[in-house]
Amino acid sequence: MIWTRFVMSPKQRPSAEQRLLRNDIPLLSRRSLTVLLATALAAPALPARAAPLPPLAVFGDSQAEGVAVALRQARRRYPDLRVQNCARAGSAISQAAAYDWPAAIRTYTATAQGGVAIMFFGGNDRLPIRLAGERPVQFRSDAWRGLYMARVTAMLETLRGAGIGVLWLGQPVARDGVYSHDMAYLNGIYQDMVQAAGGTFVPLWSVVADAAGHYVSHGRSLEGREERMRLDDGIHFTPAGYALIAERVMQTLTAGNAAGI
């Protein structure tokens, strides 16, 4: 099913017949009344009400929390928008001992009824994966990649199996070059796996960047003003920056071309 933005139609005026019954218009001759009613009945029907936006659930780390807050604030522009913040600051798919995301997704889908999952991970995922009784598996190694992909697969399969759409947000460019290089590596994993699972990958690399895709701290807000978009750490966004990401999410949802939504 394709979800589109719900647009309120103008308030429908009562039909000519209803107005007659309520004595809102003067009595007419039989001939005039017949013509009037025929015209009213032949008028084109109002367009069917568009389907409301699906409920959204946001999963991820502190970056995802910022997006969840911005999406809730976006209800001023999208009145029927419903947002559940399921993000957990400091969490990572790679760090199951601290917070097990595949298990958390299973718990969520046990009671969820449709909707779309907004996924935003990566900032904390560069740490080694630790398995009980084994040596740490280093980031970017083949073994790390295999274990990480298995966890992402488990999350995607659980969501899609429950009939929940997936919008996976890619990591944006950051101020630090090494960090950005690692985020590009993770984006490659996310994009391939999400698209293979029938979800939609939303690239955010240049959501706030210069013409060449390089990091900048300031940019143009939704209101058209030049504002600060990134915090001092060069990673997180200001409220104005998260508002841009939330709008990118909403544009993807309402454009009608998102896979699996």
Q: How confident is the model at residue 22 (pLDDT cuts 50, 70, 90)?
A: very low
Contact 199, 166 (CB under 8 A): yes
- Report the SS3 class of residue 90: coil
The number of helix segments (H) and strand segments (E) in the chain equals 7, 7
- Backbone phi, psi, residue 141, to 5°: -70, 160
CA pair distance 190, 103, nearest whole angstrom: 19
Q: Which of 12, 60, 29 is nearest to 71 (CA)?
A: 60
Q: What is the mean pLDDT of residues 156-185?
A: 98
Q: Which two three-digit tokens encode residue 208? A: 């706030």
DSSP assignment letter at 118: E
Per-residue pLDDT at 210:
96
Contact yes or no for 69/26 (Cβ under 8 A) = no
**Which amino acid is present at 224?**
G
Chain centre to alpha carbon of residue 141: 31
Q: What is the pTM of this model?
A: 0.80
pLDDT tens per residue, range 50-106: 678 999 999 999 999 999 999 999 999 999 999 999 999 999 999 999 999 999 999
Calpha distance 102→114 (Å, rounded): 18
User: Pick from 3, 9, 1: which is nearest to 49 by CA?
Assistant: 9
Tell me what percent of the residues of the chain surpass a pLDDT of 70.
Answer: 79
pLDDT at 257: 60
CA gap 118, 106 in Å, rounded: 15
- 225/219 Cα distance (integer angstroms): 8
Q: Which pLDDT score is estimated for 260?
A: 64
Q: Would the pLDDT of 45 be above 70?
A: no
Computed over every residue of the chain, the mean pLDDT equals: 85
Give the span between the Cα atoms of 72 and 115, in whole angstroms: 16
Please give the pLDDT value at position 256: 73
Q: Is the pLDDT of residue 21 over 90?
A: no
Superfamily (CATH) of domain 56-254: SGNH hydrolase (3.40.50.1110)
pLDDT tens digits, one per residue of 130-160: 999 999 999 999 999 999 999 999 999 999 9
> What crossing angle do the helices spanning 239-254 and 62-73 adopt, rounded to 10°?
70
